Amino acid sequence: MTPEPRVAGEQFVQSLSRGLSVITAFDAEHAAMTLSEVAVRTDLSRATARRFLHTLVELGYVRTDGRLFSLTPQVLRLGTAYLSGSGLPQIAQPHLERLSAELGESTSAAVLDGADIVYVARVATRRIMSVGITVGTRFPAYATSMGRVLLAGMTSDALDACLAATDLVALTPSTLHTPADLRAEVARVRENGWSFVDQELEQGLRSLAVPVTDPGGRVVAALNVSASMAAGDPADFVSAALPPLQAAAAAVSADLAHTA
């Protein structure tokens, strides 16, 4: 289910919150849903879910065949507003393209949204996951290299709160998923300045990530290089990919500083 944000205060508009929860209830595994399924995933009554769904249909964000509901491409306008307002995707993209060409592997940039990473730029050389990755794709931060880099930029209290609010599950047999193990790993990432994840998000996938920082040194995003196990020995992958990845992240950080 999609929990409703717990926001207090007289300025909070509950109807807007519920409408957004209906939109975010749709994902790759729930691309088309019945009214009952939407109600269950949003913790709304059928009558309330029906009103919001039909309002979204009238506004053009949702379509229905009379039984199933699904999002329309108009929803992309919501994300486009963020992407066009943030300089990061435009700044990162050419650096990712050069890095991908140099290494012959897929490259990405992501930011942290709650306990998830959200891809904001990507260059894919081949499909290496069972789920296609595009701009807007979300994964749990704790199981990804970019997520761990971003978690390493948090204070200890913020990290503890994030882990406490996250459903930590083993996505593969290799996934670190206990708070103690993840705290220790994030501490290593913070000390080393990079994160390597080997088959923790999906079997056969490995990924290396480094932070992008603002002029004050705050971690604002992450860049990564991802490859399949066929890329060879993990240590060789890290030694080959880390220097150019760090150079790309430094260039993105510098470009962000110039636009600030």
Least confident interval from 73-82, 165-174, 178-187: 73-82
pLDDT reading at 138 higher than 80: yes
Amino acid sitting at position 152: A
Does the predicted model carry a pTM greater than 0.85?
no
Domain span(s) for CATH 3.30.450.40 in the chain: 86-259
Domain span(s) for CATH 1.10.10.10 in the chain: 14-76
Please give the share of the chain, as a percent, with pLDDT higher than 70: 90
pLDDT reading at 130 higher than 70: no
Band (3; pLDDT cuts 50, 70, 90): very low
**H-only helix segments in 177-233:** 179-192
Amino acid sitting at position 30: H
Give domain 86-259's CATH number out of 3.30.565.10, 3.30.1490.20, 3.40.190.10, 3.30.450.40: 3.30.450.40
Rounded to an integer, what distance in angstroms lies between the CA atom of residue 218 and that of residue 237? 27
Question: The domain at 14-76 falls in which architecture?
Answer: Orthogonal Bundle (1.10)
Band (2; pLDDT cuts 50, 70, 90): very low
Which of 129, 136, 150, 254 shows the shortest CA–CA distance to 200?
129
SS3 state of residue 111? strand
Q: Where are any strands of DSSP class E within the chain?
A: 32-34, 62-64, 68-71, 106-113, 116-123, 138-140, 195-198, 205-213, 219-228
